Amino acid sequence: MTSSSPAIDRKLDIDAIRKEFPVLHQQVNGRDLVYLDNAATSQKPLKVINALIDYYQGYNANIHRGIHTLAERATKAYEETRHTLKRFINARSEQEIIFTRGVTESINLVASSYGRAFIKEGDEIIVSGLEHHSNIVPWQLVCEEKKATLKTIPVLPEGVLDLDAYRKLLSSKTKIVSVNHASNSLGTINPVKEIIKLAHEAGAVVLLDGAQSGAHIEIDVQDLDCDFYCLSSHKMYGPTGTGILYGKKDLLEKMPPYQGGGEMIKEVTFEKTTYNDLPYKFEAGTPNIADVVAYKYAVDFINELGREAMAAYEHELLSYATERISKLKGVQLIGTAPEKVSVLSFTVEGIHHFDIGQMLDARGIAVRTGHHCTQPLMTCFGIEGTVRASFAVYNTRKEIDQLAESLERIINFMK
C-alpha cells in the first residue's frame, strides 16, 4: 500500500527538471545512470552547484565579524538562508533556527544540551522502533550518563507504530519523545501530530527527525507544536554537511551551549564567559558558510516546484514501482504502511540484498542495500537488510521499468 495523495500536477515538466541535474546524465558500467538512492542523498540542481561556485569565486569571507565588503556579502547570504528556512518550516522566529551539520548533529545537540541539563535518574526517554541509529545512540548515551531509561514504541507488521503501546509507555517519568517524521528504511509517515499531543499531555518535550520529510512533506512546526525539528540539506537537493535544528525559543534559551568557541560568546575573561543570544549561542566557530549559502537555493528549488506537486508525482512513482516490483517472483515488500514517502524496501527469497545491489549497479542502477542504519528495525522483521529504492522528483517511470526488468533478469538468473 502507498500513501493517499493529491491529484498529480501535470504542469511538472520532468524532462526540464532532469536537465537541472548534471550528475544524472552519465553512464555507469556502460549504461545510462538510474539513480534510485535518494533517501541516502538527493542529487543537486545547477542553482545549488552555481551558488557554491559563486560564493567561492565572488565573496568567500568569514561571516558576522568582518566589516569589509566581502564579509558583509557573505553574512547577508548566510542569514538569508536562515530566513528562508524559518519560512519553509513556519517557525516563529529566526532565533529558533540553528545551523548544524545535519540531523545527526542536531539530535546530538539536543541530547547533549537539553538532555544532560534536564534528564535525571529515573527519568524515561521514548524513541520508536523505526528510528535511524542517529536517533537512538545519542539518547542511549544520555540514559547511561544520567541513569535514565530508554523505551521503544513497537512496530506493527505493516511497518507502522503501535500507538496503543505508545500510550501505555507514556507516564510522568517521560521527559523526551524523539521519533522520525518519516522512516528512512520503510518510508512510513508517522502520525506525529498525535504523538506530540500525547507526549505533551504527559509533560514531555518532542523532537522530530525530519531527514526524510524535508523534500516530501509540508512542515509547519507551529501547527505540529513540536519542540524540536531537524533537517539535513543533502536529503533535500542541497549540499552535504549542513542542516538545521529548530527549537522553541523558550527551550533554547534554557539550554546550555553545545560547544564553546568564537561567535557563541558575548564576553570572555579567564574568570567568566557570558554567552551570545540565540541563535548564535549554539553556533560556535566558523560555520560551513558556502554550503549554508547554497542550502537556500535547494529550498528555493523545492518551493518553486511546490511540495504538493512534488509529493503527488513521487506518489505516482511509488505506486507504480510497488505494483511492478511486488509482482516479481520471490519478492517480499518490507513496510506497507498506508501513508509513505517515496521509499520502497524489499527482499528477494534466496538472494542476498548485497548481491542484488551489485548486480543492479552492473546495469547502471543505484539502489541502497543493507540495514540502512536501522539494525533494530531489521531485527524486528527478522532480516539482515533490504534492497531500498527511493524516488525523487527527477525519477521516471522508464527508470522504474528498468529496475523491474533488471530485477526480473537477476531473479531468473540466480534461481
Q: What is the pLDDT of residues 145-166, one digit of tens each?
A: 999 999 999 999 999 999 999 9
Name residues whose C-beta falls within 8 Å of residue 241's C-beta, 6 or more positions apart in sequence: 101, 102, 233, 234, 288, 291
Confidence of residue 266 (pLDDT cuts 50, 70, 90): low
The per-residue pLDDT for 22 is 98
pTM of the predicted model, to two decimals? 0.94
Our CA dihedral for 9, 12, 15, 17, rounded to 10 degrees, sits at -140
The kind and range of the H/E element at 86 are: helix 69-89
CB neighbour list of residue 207: distance below 8 Å, 6 or more residues apart = 107, 110, 176, 177, 178, 179, 226, 227, 228, 229, 230
Give the sign of the dihedral formed by CA 102, CA 105, CA 109, CA 111: positive
Residue 368 has φ and ψ, to the nearest 5°, of -105, 135
Local structure of 316: helix, strand or coil: helix
pLDDT at 265 over 90: no
* Cα four-point dihedral sign 397, 398, 404, 407: negative
Report d(CA 109, CA 280) in Å as an integer: 14
Whole-angstrom Cα distance, residue 143 to residue 124?
8
Percent with pLDDT over 70 in the chain: 94
CB-CB contact of 241 with 104 (8 Å): no
Q: Are 224 and 196 contacting, i.e. CB atoms less than 8 angstroms apart?
A: yes
pLDDT in tens, 90-147: 999 999 999 999 999 999 999 999 998 999 999 999 999 999 999 999 999 999 999 9
| Under 8 Å between Cβ of 145 and 176 | no
373 as an active site residue: the answer is: yes
Of 143, 226, 230, 373, the catalytic one is 373
Q: What is the pLDDT of residues 54-78, one digit of tens each?
A: 999 999 999 987 789 999 999 999 9
Across the range 228-242, mean pLDDT stands at: 98
334, pLDDT greater than 70:
yes
pLDDT at 10 over 90: no
Which domains, and CATH codes, for the chain? 14-37+306-414 (3.90.1150.10), 49-303 (3.40.640.10)
Give 63-68's long-range contacts (Cβ < 8 A, gap of 24+). 63/286, 63/287, 63/289, 64/263, 64/280, 65/262, 65/263
**Distances from the Cα of 66 to the Cα of 60, 63, 224, 267, 357, angstroms:** 12, 6, 38, 18, 49
Q: Is the per-residue pLDDT at 4 higher than 50? A: no
**Contact between 340 and 189 (Cβ < 8 Å):** yes
Residues in CB range of 164: below 8 A, 6 or more apart: none
Query: Within 13 A of 115's CA, how many CA atoms are on the CB side?
Result: 31
Rounded Cα distance between 142 and 108, Å, is: 10
